Chains A and B, each alone.
Chain A
Amino acid sequence: MRRSRWPPVVTAAVLVFLWLPIAVLAANSFNRSRFGSSWEGLSLRWYRALLADADTWRALRNSLVVGVGATLTSLALGTSAAVALHRHRSRLQRLHYALVYSPLVVPDLLMGMSLLVLFVALGADLGLGTVYLAHTTFCVSYVAMVVLARLQDFDPSILEAARDLGAGRWTVVRRVLLPLLAPGLAAAGLLAFTLSIDDFVITFFVAGPGATTLPVRVYSMIKHSRNLPAINALSVLMLAATFTAVRASRRLLQEDRP
């Protein structure tokens, strides 16, 4: 029985499709030319232009502050949520699960819009604070899902064994549960951080004029700036950061797999 030849052909085409823009972008960041329509020689001028731009540096700083804050808060909330969902089966947890799961499927735009309405209704000042609250909200769900998957992976009798061997409740958490969860937590944290750093739509809705994050800055550069190749350079730097993060998270998750 012969297998259809279509799937591999389509897969190859899909991979080319997925990588083509990224490859072109990377190549153009080193191109002396302005529009990348022709190759005018290798150059680092766009990188120099980018690094000299104070607004970009400020946006990066904002992104990092929000990212770190949202990551830490969502790690705490998400892990606690995962433990609750894993250990308890009740009507409360069904509601809890629906609430944790829904932000994953709701379009960004709606989440940004609803948070904007909330902040305006409460009379809150839009700024880094509201961005932090918004980012934490969507990160909680992702963290909870990653940690929950990790919890479901390991054998509950390990915890019972620890109790059996005389460990108290807190000792079990500290000496057994947390070390076992650590790679999952690290991966979840990395995911939350990446999502926060990368988010544009929600940030755009809830950020005030002063709270420009990196993606908001990129957006305004794309929209308004004539200095396009500098975005290329920025993109490549961001790509490099993403690849590093992906590598790191894969190592974390695979480390203790048999």
Chain B
Amino acid sequence: MTADHLRREEWAVTLPSLGWLLALFAAPTLLVFAVSFRPADPYGGIGAGWTLATLREMARTPLGPVIARTVRLSALTTAICLALAIPCGTCLARVAPRRQAVLLLLVVVPFWTSFLIRVFAWRMLLHPEGPLKRVLVTVGLADPHTQLLYSEPAVLLVMVYTFLPFAILPIYAAAEKFDLALLEAARDLGAGPWGAFVKVFLPGIGRGVLTATLMVLIPALGSYVIPDLVGGPGQDMLGNRIAQRAFSDRNLPQASALSAALTLAALAPMALAALVQRRPPALEAAARKEAA
């Protein structure tokens, strides 16, 4: 096979997906940034010419609380998911193979079921006349006037519920590869159980934790359905604002500008992760100096 031939074959198998994704993924993503600088037209379309009016308009609306809520809820969701996923993923990695298959299935299947239906199920559970409220009132943990649904904790709860499997699976995969003899070695060298966990186990599954963080944090930042269905009127996240601008206000440029901001926000943790994973040589050298 000549190099030329190989090249042609490569293009033949690459071009269909490359072309499709360039046209329907890369181009629209860039377009969103461009449209932020276009005026809105009254019929919900995109006007002609270039303008900074959209951005100026945005600066005038108080977005601060929405952004703060979005970041807060996403960060909390990520933290809670990690706190649950680290012990859970570790446990899954250590059980006997037969049990492991069953347990993994039990984790994955809810995640395969319709997302809307899972959110709906929580609406039922948290409903003022729903079972959870009755149980809580009976046990004395809530009084009859407590509002479970349409509150920020409810949004957080359902976000954790939705994203938890995304955190468990990568941590499980990393923990499965982790050599348990390292924990024994740490104990043997004088580290207590907690010390061994922090100094050896966590760094050992570090990549899994990082993947889990990204897998939860990024989609969490883009949450829209969850605050829409279980959050109260004052609990909008950035996603709700985007949908609002796009559908209720029919102002695509403003929706685009918000989307562009959200895209940048989603890119930030990815860039940070890339930085952490490929530790620059300066840090490595510093670490060496410290150890020696």
Binding site for B on A (CB under 8 A): 1, 3-4, 6-8, 10-11, 14-15, 17-22, 24-25, 28, 35-37, 76-78, 80-81, 83-84, 87-88, 90, 92-93, 95-96, 99-100, 102-103, 105-111, 113-118, 120-121, 133-134, 136-137, 140-141, 144, 194, 198, 200-201, 204-205, 215, 218-219, 222-223, 228, 231-232, 234-235, 238-239, 242-243, 245-246, 250
Most buried by A among B35, B108, B116, B134: B116
23 A-B contacts (beta carbon < 8 Å): A10-B87, A35-B129, A77-B16, A77-B17, A80-B13, A81-B14, A81-B17, A81-B18, A88-B14, A99-B26, A103-B25, A107-B221, A107-B222, A107-B239, A109-B222, A113-B242, A118-B28, A198-B114, A219-B116, A231-B120, A235-B120, A238-B114, A246-B108
- Complex CA–CA separation, A234 to B116 (angstroms): 12
Contact A24 B28, beta carbon cutoff 8 Å:
no
Contact B116 A36, beta carbon cutoff 8 Å:
no
Check if B53 is an interface residue, CB within 8 A of chain A.
Answer: no
- Complex CA–CA separation, A153 to B16 (angstroms): 24
Most buried by B among A92, A109, A141, A250: A109
Contact A84 B14, beta carbon cutoff 8 Å:
yes
Contact A22 B123, beta carbon cutoff 8 Å:
no
Contact A238 B113, beta carbon cutoff 8 Å:
yes
- Measured between C-beta atoms, what is the minimum distance from A58 to chain B in Å? 18
Check if B45 is an interface residue, CB within 8 A of chain A.
Answer: yes
Contact B120 A25, beta carbon cutoff 8 Å:
yes
- Complex CA–CA separation, A246 to B105 (angstroms): 9
Interface size of B as a range: 35 or more
Within 8 A of A (CB), among B90-140: 90-92, 94, 103, 105-110, 112-125, 127, 129-131, 134
- Complex CA–CA separation, A90 to B9 (angstroms): 13
- Measured between C-beta atoms, what is the minimum distance from A96 to chain B in Å? 5
Q: Main secondary structure on chain B at its contact with chain A?
A: helix
Check if B218 is an interface residue, CB within 8 A of chain A.
Answer: yes
Q: Which residues of B contact A133 (CB under 8 A)?
A: 24
Given contacts A118-B24, A218-B120, contact A88 B10 (CB under 8 A): yes
CB-based nearest A residue for B120: A222
Other than the known A92-B11, A107-B219, A117-B46, what 8 A-B pairs have Cβ atoms closer than 8 Å?
A: A24-B131, A25-B124, A36-B124, A37-B129, A107-B223, A114-B28, A198-B115, A222-B229
Check if B88 is an interface residue, CB within 8 A of chain A.
Answer: yes
Residue from the list B130, B222, B266 in contact with A37, Cβ < 8 A: B130
User: A-B pairs with CB below 8 Å: how many?
Assistant: 252
Check if B155 is an interface residue, CB within 8 A of chain A.
Answer: no
Q: Which residues of A contact B29 (CB under 8 A)?
A: 106, 110, 114
Given contacts A77-B20, A84-B14, contact A110 B259 (CB under 8 A): yes
A-B pairs with the 6 shortest C-beta distances? A107-B222, A21-B121, A7-B91, A81-B17, A114-B28, A118-B28
Q: Which residues of A contact B165 (CB under 8 A)?
A: 18
Residue from the list B17, B84, B239 in contact with A109, Cβ < 8 A: B239
Given contacts A105-B218, A117-B256, A222-B229, contact A18 B117 (CB under 8 A): no
Contact B91 A11, beta carbon cutoff 8 Å:
yes
Within 8 A of A (CB), among B236-276: 239, 242-243, 246, 252, 255-256, 259, 262-263, 266, 270
Q: Which residues of A contact B214 (CB under 8 A)?
A: 105
- Measured between C-beta atoms, what is the minimum distance from B81 to chain A in Å? 10
Contact A117 B32, beta carbon cutoff 8 Å:
yes
CB-based nearest B residue for A214: B114
Contact B18 A21, beta carbon cutoff 8 Å:
no
Q: Which residues of B contact A14 (CB under 8 A)?
A: 84, 88, 107, 164, 168
Q: Which residues of B contact A239 (CB under 8 A)?
A: 113-114, 117
- Measured between C-beta atoms, what is the minimum distance from B262 to chain A in Å? 6
